[in-house]
Chains A and B, each alone.
Chain A
């Protein structure tokens, strides 16, 4: 009788590693966990759905970080702290703010005087 090759013997050994059958109710559990509707866009494998790209995950954090950076940039630009002296933008801003306060003051005066 021809001796079995190493590959044959290894394959026979590997066949001993049996896996159990899936639990009977697993299909029901999967159906119960499905979202109610079909999403308009989906993910493949590791990706994020379009919805989660905008509402969750890394992109929301990235958006918050971007907004914070923008706010800091605007503040620096207005205050002129980078150059150590007031910027034109700050002066314009203060003038605008003064005008706004004056406008509110006039409005309050008109209301009080009526």
Chain B
């Protein structure tokens, strides 16, 4: 936890909007990143980040220092919002360009590298949502298994199981690409 975060939370709970803005600046990037990787859309990632912070704002008066790490709480809210959105998508027809790479997210690499990125992204997106979330939190967000379990509301053993299955599936899906590495 960054130094002084508890103090920022306490000030924000008393109505100090500058303190809340500081909390936003500290955590918005991670929520946007998780939302983007879960949903594949910058716009939806922004919506998830915004909604997560609005929920934090409403929760601040009841916040108990030391009970939960702020980043863990925010990841949990954002994860739930992402999963809700993924489930709603199943109820409506997906646009034809769904899952197409976001042009703004492309690296400066060549065509071959972009194609490889696309295959990796496709393999991750094909994972069941809980396996995907476990991989995103541990591999990309640097959460330990215990924190991932806390975010997902499951046991550490369940996280380990999800990760093992996800990695096995990814290795099968990306067997050809792994040969080149």
Contacts and interface: CB of A to CB of B under 8 A. Distances in A.
Contact of B29 (A10, A22, A42): A22
Contacts of B105: 18-20
Contacts, number: 124
Contacts of B32: 19, 21-22, 26
A37 B20 CA distance: 12
A85 interface: no
Contact of A46 (B49, B57, B80): B80
Given A20-B42, A27-B24, A30-B49, A42 B102 contact: no
A43 B58 contact: yes
A16 B62 contact: no
A62 interface: no
Contact of B170 (A10, A38, A46): A10
Nearest to B77: A45
Interface stretch (B90-98, B114-122, B142-150): B114-122
Given A17-B120, A30-B50, A45-B80, A40 B61 contact: yes
Contacts of A46: 80
B104 interface: yes
Nearest to B34: A19
Contact of B46 (A9, A16, A26): A26
Interface of B: 13-15, 17, 20-21, 24-25, 28-29, 32-33, 36-37, 42, 45-46, 49-50, 53-55, 57-62, 73, 76-77, 80, 102, 104-105, 107, 113, 116-117, 120-121, 124, 135, 139-140, 167, 170-171, 174, 177-178, 181
26 contacts: A4-B181, A10-B171, A12-B181, A13-B170, A13-B174, A13-B177, A14-B124, A14-B139, A17-B37, A18-B105, A18-B107, A19-B33, A19-B36, A20-B102, A22-B29, A26-B49, A26-B50, A34-B54, A34-B57, A38-B60, A39-B61, A42-B58, A42-B59, A43-B59, A44-B62, A45-B80
